[in-house]
Amino acid sequence: MTTLIRTATVADAGLILDFVRELAVYEKLAGEVVATEDLLRDTLFGPGATAEVLIAEADGQPAGFALFFHNYSTFLARPGIYLEDLFVRQQFRGRGVGRALLAQIAHLARERKCGRVEWSVLDWNQPAIRFYQSLGAVPQDQWTTFRLTGECIGDLANLATQPSGELA
């Protein structure tokens, strides 16, 4: 099997959405996908693009993708790469596609002088955890991920519009 890793283009927005939906089904989160092709085109390929995507093709067929963006480590005083999504279609798993995607991300991290590559994995996803550990990745068990969404973001953002004396 020949695997090609390439940078996604705006023409891939539909394929990326397909991968996102397949990933959501795998992660038992299908009901949470609100992404559309238009939103992906805008946020991934528009003037304010905030993330990048790699597409894996195996023997000419779309096999998987990786979506990532830059973050920053103050301790290292270097940028990093945060891998938001890595997904390989079932029929291509165990054939080196995921490894090839991660190898390309590692290549980009080294090329861009990044201090680290980070990502999250669901606790129940033992096949992925074993795969990541086989590459030398180390779980960061001492950290807890926090998240604000929707109305909570709005409520907190509203505090920024209050006169400074009212924030306490």
What is the C-alpha to C-alpha distance for residues 89 and 78, in angstroms, rounded to an integer? 33
Of 98, 130, 109, 102, give the one whose Cα is nearest residue 23: 98
pLDDT tens, position by position, 27-82:
999 999 999 999 999 999 999 999 999 999 999 999 999 999 999 999 999 999 99
- Tell me, what's the pLDDT at 163? 78
Extract the tokens encoding 34. 């609100």
Residue 27 in domain: yes
Residue 166 in domain: no
Cα–Cα distances (Å) from 30 to 22, 53, 60, in that order, read: 8, 20, 27
Average of per-residue pLDDT values in the chain? 95
Residue 115 in domain: yes
Residue 147 in domain: no
- Stated pTM of the model: 0.91
- Tell me, what's the pLDDT at 167? 55
- What domain count does the chain have? 1
Q: Which domain holds residue 80?
A: 3-140
CATH of residue 63: 3.40.630.30
Extract the tokens encoding 145. 């991920």
Give me the active site residues, please.
132
Of 1, 6, 30, give the one whose Cα is nearest residue 18: 30
Q: Other C-beta atoms within 10 Å of 92: how many? A: 20
Residue 97 in domain: yes
Q: Is residue 68 classed as helix, strand or coil in its secondary structure? A: strand
Q: Which helix (H) or strand (E) element contains residue 38?
A: helix 37-45
pLDDT over 70 at 168, yes or no: no
pLDDT over 80 at 166, yes or no: no
Residue 25 in domain: yes
